[in-house]
């Protein structure tokens, strides 16, 4: 399966412009042979805390993703805000080439340091989708700092995809944590981050694909340029192959996951919680 990570600038709270950019990126990714096209966190609006204003656009953005998927006959994965049962939620969808949504994920960990927890509710589930034989589990930005959900989904995941609006000031953390999640879970990890400026923050990209050994399979420096609807270069595409057999081989050759001691960990957590 060929995956394309779209490292793009985002027009602030402007879904129409950003969907046009995503469409052009998908066209370029398709031309490069991509099967799955991945867009950053809240790709259509930027990481806005105006949750009540932008969340109602969630349905429109999903429809836009579905149209792009059908037009270019590709799988799409992109993030957006949407209304929730309480407050809005930071979401991501996986859309198949027919335009059908096969997975919707809600960011488990709102970013309290940036005030996200004051505007968005966290999710409580971690779904996985089969994309042409590769088991794909999406997470969103701040989730990367928490190894627990990755570990919980490791046995059913070949490729973790982390979509993000990760500020340039903490890019070293981004790079280190992506590599760590690949090594400790013996899985591919694709991090797709935005570039440009939005909401008073600068975003430095650093999109990368790590293989199950932690090696860099592809990085933004290897990317090819894409173009927006008017012909201007506004995105870079990271395009590489992902193979479930490589994950299975890594886990068979080096049995770290098989050596986990879940019962011991549960006991340790229980004693910590009880103060013993």
Angle, in degrees to the nearest 10, between helices 58-72 and 15-31: 20
The number of beta carbons lying within 10 Å of the beta carbon of residue 202 is 11
Give phi and psi for 43, each to the nearest 5. Answer: -60, -25
Size of the chain, expressed as the number of residues it contains: 276
Report angle CA 220, 43, 9 to the nearest 5 degrees.
Answer: 50
Is position 30 annotated as part of the catalytic site? no
Cβ atoms 142, 111 nearer than 8 A: yes
Strands laid side by side in the 129-131 sheet: 129-131, 134-140, 159-164, 188-193, 208-210, 216-219
Is position 41 annotated as part of the catalytic site? yes
**C-alpha closest to that of 250 among 109, 154, 178, 153:** 154
**Catalytic-labelled residue, pool 7, 13, 41, 82:** 41
Alpha helices in 76-170 (DSSP H): 147-153
**C-alpha closest to that of 36 among 247, 244, 242, 245:** 242
d(CA 235, CA 224): 9
Is position 101 annotated as part of the catalytic site? no
**Catalytic-labelled residue, pool 30, 82, 107, 116:** 107
Residues 6+ apart with CB under 8 A from 46: 10, 11, 12, 13, 165, 194, 198, 199
The catalytic residue positions are 41, 107, 141
């Amino acid at each position: 399966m060929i995956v394309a990570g779209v490292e793009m600038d985002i027009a602030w709270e402007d879904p129409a412009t950003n969907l046009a950019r995503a469409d052009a990126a998908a066209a370029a990714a398709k031309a490069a042979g991509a099967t799955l096209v991945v867009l950053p966190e809240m790709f259509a609006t930027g990481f806005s805390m105006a949750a009540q204003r932008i969340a109602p656009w969630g349905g429109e953005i999903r429809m836009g993703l579905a149209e792009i998927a059908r037009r270019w006959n590709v799988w799409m994965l992109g993030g957006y805000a949407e209304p929730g049962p309480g407050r809005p939620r930071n979401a991501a969808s996986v859309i198949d080439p027919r335009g059908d949504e096969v997975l919707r994920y809600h960011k488990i960990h709102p970013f309290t340091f940036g005030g996200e927890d004051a505007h968005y509710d966290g999710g409580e589930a971690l779904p996985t989708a089969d994309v042409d034989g590769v088991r794909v589990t999406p997470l969103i930005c701040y989730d990367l700092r928490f190894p627990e959900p990755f570990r919980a989904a490791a046995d059913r995941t070949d490729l973790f995809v982390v979509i993000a609006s990760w500020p340039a000031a903490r890019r070293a953390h981004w790079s280190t944590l992506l590599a760590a999640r690949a090594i400790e879970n013996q899985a591919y990890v694709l991090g797709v981050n935005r570039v440009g400026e939005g909401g008073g923050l600068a975003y430095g990209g650093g999109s990368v694909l790590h293989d199950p050994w932690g090696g860099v399979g592809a990085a933004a420096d290897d990317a090819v340029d894409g173009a927006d609807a008017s012909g201007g270069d506004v995105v870079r595409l990271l395009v590489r192959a992902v193979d479930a057999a490589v994950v299975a081989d890594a886990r068979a050759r080096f049995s770290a996951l098989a050596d986990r001691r879940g019962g011991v960990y549960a006991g340790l957590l229980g004693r910590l919680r009880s103060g013993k």
